[in-house]
Structure formats: structure tokens, C-alpha cells
Structure 1
């Protein structure tokens, strides 16, 4: 068996204690080798140029130059995969979401603030995310959706139509007049992907949007607020009892599965923190999909985007057994991690495989 060379990791944190703890996590790794440490963002920029790491862990809050400022410089000068370490304070969550927008691959929430003596609680998560980030193509983190001149919009429409027909599984009994609900599941790379999709949905869209993004509590609220500022539709972190309305998007809060409940002719959100996590995730896409499969008085558009693992594929099977469902998966070409969409495609139940920048258009074509 040929052993592949280890990927190089640079650890950036102003705390010597935290640098030591994080370094110890990778001592037994067959995949990652720690090649250096940096005390702040300024130091990190110099070390990245000198050591050429494959992946960087970076604290959000540091003196002299914080993680966000350093990230902007790194992505402009020497792009590299970065996993942010963040506190769960409001400021920490907001900065982390900005970091994802600037090109960070992923983030890990420290369990108890800047100096987390109990960092071992997130060891497995951090190791997995660093190993994953080390293999991410940097070109996928720099996707900028071009502004398309109106004169060639019809050509773009034709291209999307052509893309859809290749291997697309048509839904023969789809009726645009029926009530609709859009269900979206995503994980690693999801905040950027959601921004690309949600900001292209029209204010008057005739369907609600229910979203599961794998994130801890606190971060989902910041994500919802950020998307709400950018989107035409209303976006909020879901709350128990929210009436589900067209033109509104509801993001499952970290720590809670999201389900729905019918009251007369309307539907409301049910949040559940008692049902166990699925494959380590609560919220889980599978739970949202499976729960929605019990209601047949609306058609479902299920969308699975970038993310590690296979969350969503079991739920998709359940959805497809009951009622009218169109399944859309993000293409490997634009996924930060082609895990969840790949698992969905392998069920052979996906109707369309679409590049990220075309997902909103793919959704809209199925709405009234």
C-alpha cells in the first residue's frame, strides 16, 4: 500500500495553551502533519508564505490582526483552505458567518469561549473538518456569480434547459397549480451556497422554504439574520409555532430537528430537541424530509447541496414514496464537499443535478 504524503497544517491562535491542545489532536493523524504555529493574523500571513500549508486552523478573535482581517489578506494573496475556530458569542457568530463569506471552508465552535479547557469535546469534529478542508479545491471557494447581461438571459435559460435534460428524470404528473413547499438541506459550504440560492428567490414566490443547515445553536440565528438582509424573501430562524407562509424561509435552529404540524388548512413549525441526533446532526435533513413526507396536500421541491456525509438521502427515499416530489442536487462541479449531493444522486431519485448558480432558477421553474 502506497502511503500518501501528509497534508500540512498551520495552527493560528494567540493562546499558547490552545495551540498546544490543537496540535496534540493531530499527533496520531495519518493524514495531517502540523508544520507550524502562528500567534496572530499578521504572523499567520508570513508563515503561510514560508511554510505553504495545505490547511490552516485560525482563531476568530486575536490581537494585532484578527482572524477575519487575516482571512481577507490570505484569500487575496495566498489562498489556502481555512477552518475558523469561533466562540459562540453574538459577535463571534457574526464574524464567523462573514468569514464563510470571505472563503473559509468551515468552522468549529469552541465549547466554552476563547480559552476552552474542554476543547477535547470538539476534537473529532475539528480533526474531521481539517482533514476534509485539506482536500478542498480552492477554486470552488472563489466562485463569483457573474452579472448576466439581460441580452443573453434567454441563452442562459436555454443552456439550463439543456443541462436539465441530460439524465433528468421528469415528473410526469407535476401540476404547477398545486400548493408547493421547498425543502433545502446543506452542511459544509452551506452558508455561501444558501446565500447564492436564497438571494435569487423572488419576494412573491408561491411557496415557503424550510432549511436545515448543519450548525450549532447561535450560528443559525446569525445566518438567518444575514440572509434576511440580503434576500427579497423573509428569512428567519424558525421558532416553535411559526405559521409557514409563502415567500418566507425558516432555518432550523442549531440543536433542534425541524418538523411541521397541520392546523386546519395551515402549517406551523415544530421544533424537537428530544429526538436523538441523526449521524451526529440535530437538526438533520433526513428528519425534515421524513416528517414532510406525511403530508400530501402540497408538492415538495427537495434540494440537497454541498456537505459532508449522506444526510438527506434516507429522507429523500421517504419523500419519494409519498406524493409529488422533485429532487434537485448540487453538482460536483460547484460543491465545496460532494458528500450529501453524491449520496442523494446515488439513490437514483434525483430529478436534476444543477450547478449552484442555477439552483434558484431550477426551483422557480416548478413553482406556480
Structure 2
């Protein structure tokens, strides 16, 4: 049976274009179209689609308002179409906060080398979302909204959630049967893709301002989005978060987000590491820009076995080989568990390869990191 898709966009041309692309795949069936957010809400209730594609700017009701109401009334996986501009990035991040699971640029040439590649990417992203039931897919988003309802964090470490394991969520640690190692650490590394913005926020917002290690993050995201995403994380979190820049020294207590569209590696040694940002063309073997594999492999050369590597929700297998390199040096590798992933691709890849030592629900990941690293 084909997955049922509802397309929401005020452009008749774009709706027709997306319909043609999706219906080239026998696993996808477009069951309806809406020209504004209000009509989308009505049709979601009436048609009960498996996935909704949603435009941001529309008359009568915009996409973000529609997402909020759909998620409150009849939750369904939603993928946003947005422009690759600063305003588009802000709007898309707002849509993810409202409950959307994924996003793609409206100009397909921005994400693919040719039409065929773009068509396959769009079809696969929608099928990946459709395979998750709303109850399991949307659980991490509900948890994130609870996190965002807290008072604004304090960079001084005196904020409302700077007490580390003393916070109430520490009860989650005892509910998971595992013993913590006596390893020493010098770096936390996180790699993610589809569903990652929500998962990253959930983890970082729960880390204390006094977190004593650098955090290296790779999120598959367009170049125009990573700066806006880093800024948003910085506003929400106790720790400092920034988009990584060429040549800067890696500092403890700072989270560095790899710039979209390029590659980030870490060079030097653990006592004096620095960031190198390279044009993607220098690494033709890397499918993703940025690539978790490339960044994690560089960390294995700088920090050896003193890294906790974490792979979160995402399509594909990026991160598996980078995690393999880290584990070979003695580092620990964890992965998000299947039930809390938007797409169980990247975590599954490291788990099936017997690289991941433990799998955790996204709601428990921050507590587990603190229990392991803040001894």
C-alpha cells in the first residue's frame, strides 16, 4: 500500500510539480492538495495523510501557524519547503520548533547536482518520514517543547538548568541499566542529519554552563542555515554555541557547529587543537557537506581514545566510518535508539556494525552524557 501525501502550497505550479515527482514512485500517492494553512488543517483531518509537505509563506494562514495547529489537533509528520535565505532559515527553524520533522529547499538545484538526484532525494526523505508512526516520530518534539518552555538559560552557570545531574531528570539515569566507565575524556562529538535540529537542542539545552570539554557537532544542513541554527542554540543553552570558523582554537565549554556546504576537520593535538574549514571539492569522496565521517576521523587523530562520539537521528550511514576510527583508538560510541529517532539510519549503521556500545532515548541522552563525562 502506498504512503498517502498531502501537498500544501499556494503555488499551483509547485503543487503540480511536487505531485508529478512523488507519483513517479509507486510507494507514494498524493491524496490531496491545499493552497493555504487553513485548508491544510481541514484536509489533514479529512484525508489522514501519512506525510504533509508544507510551504512557509501562504495567504489566509502561513505554514508555521498551520504546523502548530496540526500538531496540536491531529499530529502527522510534516516536511517544510523553504528558501535558502536568512529569513528562510529562521522560518524553517521556527517550523521545526512548532513540530515539523524535516525540511528541503524549494529550489532543488540547491541540494542536488541534477534533476534525477533531486527527485530521488525528495522521494526518499518523504518515505523515511512516512515509515514512522506519529506517536513514535513526534515524541522527541513534544519533549523539546517542554524544554523550550523553561526560563532562558544563563551563560554564567547560574541559570535555571545549570545544576547538571542535580536536576530532576537525573532519575532517568537510574532507570537505565548500565555501569559508567572510568575513562578520561577530552572531547564530545555529535553527528546527525534528519531530525537532528530537534535532537541537538534536546541534548545541548540540558548541559551545564560548566561543561568542561569542547563539543564538536556535525549536522547535515545547508550553508545558509548553520549560522542561524548555531545562534538559536546559543540563545537557548547554558553552554556557548557557535558556527565553527577557520583557524580558531578549540576551547573547553564551547560547542562548534560545522558550517553547511563545507568540510570541518580538527587539527593539532589535544592540548592545542584548532579548526580547519575546507571547501567541499577538496573531499570528493564525501557525499555529505559537512561529513560526520571526515570530522570524526580527524578527531581520532587529535584526541585518540579520549572522545565520546554520539550518533543521532538521520538518513544514511554517515558517521559509521568516523566512529569506527574513533573506536579503534579506544573512544566510546553511543547512538540514539530507534524508537526516539525521526529516521533510524545513521544510528542503525553504527549499531548494526557493532560500533555503538549503547543506545539511548533522546530524552535520556543528556543525562547519560553527564553521568559518563562529569565524574
| Counterpart position of 2:316 | 309
Aligned match for 1:29, one of 20, 25, 32: 25
CA distance in 2, matches of 1:333, 1:257: 30
CA contact (8 A) 2:192 2:346 kept: yes
**Runs of 5+ consecutive residues of structure 2 not aligned to the other structure:** 148-162
TM-score (norm 1): 0.88
Aligned length: 352
Alpha-carbon RMSD: 2.7
CA distance in 2, matches of 1:316, 1:264: 18
Higher helix share: 2
| Counterpart position of 2:39 | 43
CA distance in 2, matches of 1:85, 1:300: 36
| Counterpart position of 1:134 | 130
**Runs of 5+ consecutive residues of structure 1 not aligned to the other structure:** none
| Counterpart position of 2:246 | 240
- Deviation of 1:214 (Å): 0.8
CA contact (8 A) 1:164 1:354 kept: no
TM-score (norm 2): 0.86
1:178-223 residue CA offsets vs partner (Å, 9 max, x unmatched): x511100011111110010001111111100010111111111111
2:298 counterpart of 1:287? no
Shift of the 73–155 alpha-carbon distance from structure 1 to 2, 3 Å rule, reads closer
CA contact (8 A) 1:8 1:55 kept: yes
1:229-268 map, 5 Å? 229-262=235-268, 265-268=271-274
1:295-331 residue CA offsets vs partner (Å, 9 max, x unmatched): 2467101000111111111111111112x31111111
Shift of the 217–340 alpha-carbon distance from structure 1 to 2, 3 Å rule, reads same
| Counterpart position of 1:221 | 227
2:358 counterpart of 1:352? yes
Bigger mean CA offset, 192-201 vs 213-222:
213-222
CA distance in 2, matches of 1:253, 1:163: 34
| Counterpart position of 1:160 | 173
1:1-368 map, 5 Å? 5-111=1-107, 122-139=118-135, 140-143=137-140, 144-145=142-143, 157=170, 160-161=173-174, 163-165=176-178, 174-175=183-184, 180-262=186-268, 265-272=271-278, 273-276=280-283, 280-296=287-303, 299-322=306-329, 324-368=330-374
CA contact (8 A) 2:267 2:302 kept: no
- Following TM superposition, the consecutive aligned residue runs of length 4 or more in structure 1 with deviations greater than 6 angstroms are 118-121, 152-156
- Deviation of 1:162 (Å): 5.5
